[in-house]
Chains A and B, each alone.
Chain A
């Protein structure tokens, strides 16, 4: 099959990532955009762009009809869904198929099967892969709280309440005792209903201090399923991954062999095609349990790319056009060095990680050896309130974990985002935690750590650096006053920038002019 032009049914970082893959392969790309994304990076980067509606996702990025129309109108022959939005929506994959478009992902049937977390659990059991003990059938809105409490008692507290149609930590709650269950059911149902249009939930036993380990798969149309070295994603805040790395610091090559074999078995049993990820929980005794399968490219895919040397997005496209996987299985299973990813969000870590949308007045991204920044924001970008606040993924590679951490720390020092708050200060702090360095963590590790800190911020700054900041503020203030802008109550937008009379190098020779200016200001006053 020949693919020439790909429509990317997404925005932000992943749209930029897919456009880059298209360009690398000599394929044309079509961006779609909502009103506020008219000037977004992905629109400017793509070869063509199509407007698809107003800002709320339901009116634009989730409008299957408009996306199909956009693909038809632009003459695209394939659609890449990215992650989030419609990426795991079987109706979208089906609509693409019906319109004669190649959906770059698995079949609608595979998406539907794995999209139901309870059906996915049954598939794993059928493939001989252990699952976390829990309810096998979905608990719809008609099931009473009392009945759910009974089921929870059978499974044993603490239990996890999860959305059947879930993903991304939405509609997920940990419940310690029967008394707290009804409120958790309400919250989980409401969040799941809003996010997925399905308020069905299910229960799973909450394992003691598990690690989140996942296996990236590539499966072609010729029956071949290849597994990649595992990713460790145990650093999570409220069930959302925050830091991911590969390989896992605790997985031996023997365990890796069993994990990857189990993951491939689940995919093979459902005839899975394209890129996907099987997620496991690993308990303290080294036993693993199937958690769920994500039927899309994942946010954290770059760490795998960096240590295996394969371009997963390119392979998604190559598989979609019918190519056979030609990567040696051994290459995917043998990590070259170590990679870590930090998800940089427009969130204020000092205010309980509240979203912090707005105008980025200045952005400088890090670079240099072992550093990759997959982002979409730039100086002048307005981070909209309507979508996921991810602005970039910072990936550090090193010959070993130690070097990867050192490079990540260095890159964080180079990373500067002004105008909005970001999660960067949190990463500065996290990468210096002894427990992170020694890799002694589990999926509740970060939440417990945050609980202990009781809302304390992360911007505790070394006193010597605070002194430098104070000196800088003092000099800038003094310079402002001299240059005649002594109004300390000035508008927030008037940032102190270069070009000030006394600070500018070229004006040094004319240092005496400030006296003249001061006199003028004096006369004016």
Chain B
């Protein structure tokens, strides 16, 4: 796993697509459609494309709701980096609120959800389950970054990939 969201791969040219989205719910669908179209063209199987779409939707939704606190003036930056054998998807908010670190490793259970008033908490868990690599970091200004990677033609590697590849 590389340490920087912008780290480049020395062996293959990168192509980067950037999306700058308003912090309003619903715009995550634009990001998931763009990433899905790109992943399909890269040759990812339909189930991997669906997994990426869901993971990205959750990351952007978190950025809108929590990181940027629904503030329309704040943007969510989505970067899609195409590499020869993988797609790197980064999501950054402007950090009105830093993500609760405890939530990043939480494994929710449906039985607990039945008795809690708040039945949420599934988003970050889904991201972790659906992509091959994921990294949550906080930028200097308090912005939250999520970096997700899905590998092309790699069936089992890392957490969650076994579920994805089948």
Q: Do A and B come from one complex?
A: no
Interface residues, chain B, with chain A CB atoms under 8 Å away = none
Interface residues, chain A, with chain B CB atoms under 8 Å away = none
